[in-house]
Structure 1
Amino acid sequence: MRGFCAAKTQQLLSLIHSISPLPSVQWRAATSRLWSSSSSSEDDASGSSMLRHLTSKIKATGPISVAEYMREALTNPVMVRLRCFHVHHNETSYVILSLQGYYVKKNMLGPEGDFITSPEISQIFGELLGVWVVSEWMAAGRPKQLQLVELGPGKGSLASDILRVFTQLQPVLSAASVSLHLVEVSPVLSRLQAQTLIATGGEAEREDEPVYRYGQTAAGLPVSWYRRLEDVPSGFSIFLAHEFFDALPIHKFQRTERGWREVLVDVDPDRPGRLRFVVAPTPTLASRTLVQADESRDHVEVCAEGGVVIQQLARRVAKDGGAALIADYGHDGTKTDTFRGFKGHSLHDTLASPGCADLTADVDFSYVRRVAGRGVACLGPVAQRTFLKNMGIDVRMQVLLRNSDQSSREQLMSSYEFLTDGAKMGERFLFFGLLHPSRLVRPKMATGLKLEKKTPAQPPVAGFTEIRFA
C-alpha cells in the first residue's frame, strides 16, 4: 500500500513537473526585510483609540478574559458614538469613531506587514498541498463534487497555488465539479484575495447575505466568500486551515493553591494608559468548564472558539465526506504560556497598542484531538518538515533546480531551507488531519470455507506516511 501511495503521489507530482517552472512560476523568496520592524502614526492613533475603548470597558465591567481582549484587538468592527460639547458655539454634537481590530483593517502579510506565512515564501508549499487535496479526493473514490474550503486565506496565495495545480491536473479532475470557498472576516484581505484569484466578480447588495463576495477565476472556476464556516454549502469538501487557529481567542488559566484560576486583563493602576495581567480571585465559568480534571500542567491555554470550529469541521467531514488539513504553530499538549504578539516581524508586548499588532498562541493539538470526537479519524500532528518531505518536496526541488538559472536556484534553496529547517518553520509548524473514518478502513479477512473477496485497502494518507519515491 505504501508503494501504491508513493506511486499515486509521484504520478500527480510528475504531471506538475512536466510544466516548466520558469518563467511562468515566480518564486516568492524570503528577503532580509523579513525581520524588519515598522510603525506608523496611523497605528499609534488606532492603538490609542482601541486602548481607550478597552480601558473604559474594563472600568465599567471589571477585568476581561484574554479571549475577549484578543477578540476586541483582532476583529472588533464596532463604531463608537462620542458626545462632544463645543464651548464657543454652546452646542452639542456627536462624532462617530471607528474602532477596527487588527485583522479587520490591515493587510498584515508579507515583508511589508507584521508576519509572513509559508505560501508567501515559496509556491512549492501550495503546490504540494494541492497534490494532497487531489490525492484525498482520489482516495475518496473521485466524488462528482469537490469543494475546496480555506479558512483565513490570507492574501489568497495558497489558494492561487492550489488552483494552479488543479489546472495542471485537469485531466484527473475533469469529471468533478470543482469550486473554491473562502471563509474570511477581513474586508481588506477579501479584496486582496479577489485581486489574486478572480477575473470577474462582484459583491452582495446586502450585508446579511451568506456570500458577501463572489467571482470566477480566469479558468472559469467559481469562488465564493463567507464570514462564517456554517454558511459554506454542504457537500464533499477538503478544508484547509493554514495559520488560522493560532489567531483565535484563547483563555489562559493558572494553577493556584486554591485551584485553577483564569488569567484576566485589567487596567494597570500604577501606570496610566497601560494594561496588565491579573489572576481572578475566584473561579470563572471558563476555569470551571475548560480545564481538564487530569491536567498536569501549571499553566494552560484553551481556545474554546477553535474547539467549536473543529467540531463543525468534524461533523461536516463525518456527514459529507472529505478531510480537513490544519497547519499551524502548535504542540501536542506539552507547552504552557505561548501567548505572544508580533509587529513588524518582531515580538511585541501583547498588551501594548491593542489593535495594531498580531496576537497569537500555539495550537494545542491534544485539545483539537479531544474535541474532534470519535466521528472522525485524526492524524498527527507531524512536523512541517516531515509532512513536506513525505509529500515529495525533495523530488519537486530536484526538478525545479535542473530547470532554473543560478539566481533562481539560490532563491529556491533559501525558500526550501526556510520551510524545512528545524530552527525555522520545519519543526515549529505542525500538520494535523481530520478524515472520514472510512478513509482508514482495513481490508476484510477471508473467513470459513467460502473465501470472501477482500475489500481493497485504502492507501496511506500522503504527508502523514513515510513513503519512498522511485
Structure 2
Amino acid sequence: MARLLARRAQLAAARGVSGLKRLLRHHALPPAPRRRCFGSGSKAEDRGQVTPLLKHLTFKIKSTGPITVAEYMREALTNPVEGYYMHHDMLGEKGDFITSPEISQIFGELIGIWYVSEWIATGKPKTLQLVELGPGRGTLTDDILRVFNQLGSLLSKCDISIHLVEVSPKLSEIQALTLTGENIQSELDIAAPVYMKGISKTGIPIFWYQQLQDVPQGTSFYLAHEFFDALPIHKFQRTEQGWREVLIDIDPKVPDQLRFVLAPSATPASEYFIQDQETRDHVEICPDAGIIIQRLTDRIQEDGGAALIADYGHNGNKTDTFRSFRNHKLHDVLIAPGTADLTADVDFSYLRTMTQGRVATLGPIKQQEFLKNMGIDVRLQVLLRNISDTAMREQLLQGYDMLMNPKKMGDRFNFFGLLPHQRLTHSDQKVSLQHSKSLSTPVAGFGELVWK
C-alpha cells in the first residue's frame, strides 16, 4: 500500500503545479497567524457559498470517505475544470496575492545576475537552458531575459533557451504575452512534450511544458520561485495511539461544509512518511516536493547546472502552516474551495534530505541576506541616480522596503540552492552547508557578490 501511495504521489508531481506563488500579499501584513488545523475563521456569508468544486468534493467524500489534505489541495488548485490555478489570473492588486517580481524590477535583475554568475562559475558551457517551474505572469523570466540581453557580449557564444513548466492555460497565455508580445497558438501535436512555443522579444526561443520530465536533458539552470509552497501536503497529528493523519470530511451538522478529522487508525501515509526521529507533535509533509527535488538532483548530478529555490519556509521546526488567501487576506482553507489560494510553508530540511547527499545544498537563508549579498543596495543607488521622477523614485524605495524589511518579505522568504559537489570543492568530500563562508568557491547570494 505504501508503494501505491508513493506511485500516486509520483504521478501527481509529474503533472506539476503552477508556481505562481504568493509573496506577502500586496499589503504589509503582520505575520500570518497559524490557525490550527481544527479551527475556522471565515465570515458567515462566505460559509454559505457552495462552489461547484465543493459539490464535487462532497460527492467524492460521500462515495469513498474522508480525503487527505493533499487530495483536497490538488483538487482545489489544479482540478482541470474548477481548479483555482487553471482559469484565473490571481496575481497583482486585483487578484489574491502579489509576488516579488511584481513589486520591483530589481528582484528579477538580481536573480538574472545569479544565473550568469553560476554559468561563469561552471565554466561558461556552450548551452544554457533556463527552466522555471510555475512562472506566474512571466515577469521574473522577463527581467532575467533583460539581464541576459544587457550582458549580450558575455553570453554571445552561448546558446540560450527558456523552458517553462506551467499547468495553467490562463497563465501560459499571460506568460506568452509578457515574454513575446504575441498571442501564441498551442502546438497541434498533442503527443509532443511541448504544448506551446515562441520567441522572446530579444530573440530567445521559449518552450512550454506540463511537467518537468518533458524538458530536454542538458546543462540547465532551474528556478522555482513560490512554487513548492503550492504543492499538496499531508498533515499528521501525534496522539496517544500514535501518529494519525488529518483528513477532511463533511460536517454532519452542516452538510454543505467541510471539517478536519483525525483518521481513526494509521494510514499508509502516516506509516510511510513520518520519520522515527520526529519530535514535533504536528507535521506537514509534501511527498510531491521530495519527488521533484529528486528529479532536479538527478539532472544536476548528470548534466551540471544549478537550481535556485525561493519560497516561504522553515528548516524543519514549524508545525501547522496550512493557510489560504483571497483578496490579499487570510481565508478559511475549507470554505469555497476553488476560489482562493492554498499554501503551506516549505520544509527545507525535508528538501535537503531528499537530495540524499548527491548534490550540494546551500541555505536556506533569508531573502534579506540573499539580496544584500547579491548587491541590491548598489543596484538601488544606480537606479535612483538615473531617475528624476519623484513618483518613480518613491516606488523604487517602497519596493526595496517590501523586499528587504524583516517585518515584510525580508525574513518571510528563504533562498535554497542545489549545485554539483564539484562546483564547490575540488575534493571528493560532499558538501551540505548552511552558509558559504567556508566554501573554496563562493556562490553568489549565499556569500557576498563583489560588484565591479
Match of 1:8 in 2: none
Match of 1:303 in 2: 286
The Cα offsets for residues 32-72 of structure 1, whole Å up to 9 and x where unpaired, read as 8788xxxxxxx999961111100000011000000000000
SS of corresponding position for 2:338:
coil
The Cα offsets for residues 216-261 of structure 1, whole Å up to 9 and x where unpaired, read as 0122100000000000000001000000000000000000001111
Whose radius of gyration is greater, 1 or 2?
A: 1
Among candidates 43, 46, 49, match of residue 52 of structure 2: 49
Match of 1:460 in 2: 442
Paired residues of 1:246 and 1:363 also in contact (CA < 8 A): yes
Match of 1:253 in 2: 236
Match of 2:414 in 1: 430
Give 1:374 deviation, angstroms: 1.4
Cα distance 1:115–1:34, how it changes in 2: closer, same or farther (>3 A)?
farther
Q: Does 1:339 align with 2:342?
A: no
Give 1:441 deviation, angstroms: 1.3
Match of 1:194 in 2: 176
Match of 2:69 in 1: 66
SS of corresponding position for 1:439:
helix
Paired residues of 2:73 and 2:342 also in contact (CA < 8 A): yes
The Cα offsets for residues 337-374 of structure 1, whole Å up to 9 and x where unpaired, read as 00000000000000000001000000000000000111
Match of 2:34 in 1: none
Alignment partners' CA distance in 2, 1:181 and 1:214: 9
Match of 1:5 in 2: none
Aligned length: 401
Structure 2: 5+ residue runs without aligned partners?
1-23, 30-45, 429-438
Give 1:170 deviation, angstroms: 0.6
Match of 1:352 in 2: 335
TM superposition score normalised by structure 1: 0.82
Paired residues of 1:180 and 1:221 also in contact (CA < 8 A): yes
RMSD: 2.0
The Cα offsets for residues 70-120 of structure 1, whole Å up to 9 and x where unpaired, read as 00000011xxxxxxxxxxxxxxxxxxxxx3200111111111110100000
Pairing of 1:15-414 with structure 2 (within 5 A): 48-77=51-80, 99-199=81-181, 201-405=184-388, 406-414=390-398
Paired residues of 2:25 and 2:329 also in contact (CA < 8 A): no
Paired residues of 1:155 and 1:193 also in contact (CA < 8 A): yes
Paired residues of 1:324 and 1:433 also in contact (CA < 8 A): yes
Paired residues of 2:425 and 2:441 also in contact (CA < 8 A): no
Cα distance 1:336–1:45, how it changes in 2: closer, same or farther (>3 A)?
closer
SS of corresponding position for 1:424:
helix
The one-letter code matched in structure 1 to 2:68 is S
Alignment partners' CA distance in 1, 2:179 and 2:49: 30
Give 1:207 deviation, angstroms: 3.1
Alignment partners' CA distance in 2, 1:176 and 1:106: 36
Paired residues of 2:25 and 2:99 also in contact (CA < 8 A): no
Alignment partners' CA distance in 2, 1:352 and 1:312: 34
The one-letter code matched in structure 1 to 2:288 is E
TM superposition score normalised by structure 2: 0.86
Paired residues of 2:25 and 2:328 also in contact (CA < 8 A): no
Q: Does 1:415 align with 2:399?
A: yes
Structure 1: 5+ residue runs without aligned partners?
1-29, 36-42, 78-98, 445-456
Alignment partners' CA distance in 2, 1:31 and 1:198: 27
Cα distance 1:376–1:242, how it changes in 2: closer, same or farther (>3 A)?
same
SS of corresponding position for 1:102:
coil
Match of 1:10 in 2: none
